[in-house]
Amino acid sequence: MAGSPSTEARGPRVGVLALQGDFREHLAVLTALGAEAVPVRRPDELASVSGLVIPGGESTVMDKLSRTFGMAEPLRAAVDGGLPVYGTCAGLIMLADHVVDGTPGQRTIGGLDVSVRRNAFGGQTDSFETDLDVPVIGGPPVHAVFIRAPVVDRVGALATAVGVLDDGRVVAVEQGSLLGTSFHPEVTADYRFHARFLDKARAFSSR
């Protein structure tokens, strides 16, 4: 299993935003990598972790629920405070500073200096898989699974594109403690993006 640590290596306490989406899959991956992985639904739970994954799902629903449950502002404050956050698919949309085709009133947490386009590859029936070169994580190409995925339309000066399709479209970005992918590593056996996120969380917890 790519990205698996030795049995001696133990990870930090990290959370997965569990308001909506495929949070269970991320919890399983993080646990397999040796982290203490917990669901996060309340501000006090967010305050107890050294990193957070925002899963795939429906970004508009996630936005509304984060406001309903009083999580929107604590999430923004956590990002501003340097908490490592990894967003996949809808999670990438939530981390983007701008959404090109957002619904009326849709908000994001922000933090990533990028603009994204929702469902850029089409609907559920247009889901696809491809191998993607990601030099920053090393090793063989990442097998990337795209499901109603967004795409990064613009990469600002503060962010870096780390994964690009053959046609030039950006599908993975990084900015300091933040990481975002259009695709879903949690549904594959390649956990290198999660491992990279855990490295950020370890550094954060040791500050």
The set of catalytic residues is: 89, 184, 186
Residue reference for tokens 């790519």: 2
Residue 156 vs residues 98, 113, 147, 184: alpha-carbon distances, Å: 11, 5, 25, 23
Tell me the helix, strand and coil percentages in the chain, rounded to 5. 30, 30, 40
| Alpha-helical regions (H) of 18-154 | 23-32, 43-46, 59-68, 72-80, 90-95
Q: Are 21 and 58 in contact (CB under 8 A)?
A: yes
Integer Cα distance of 123 and 58 in angstroms: 12
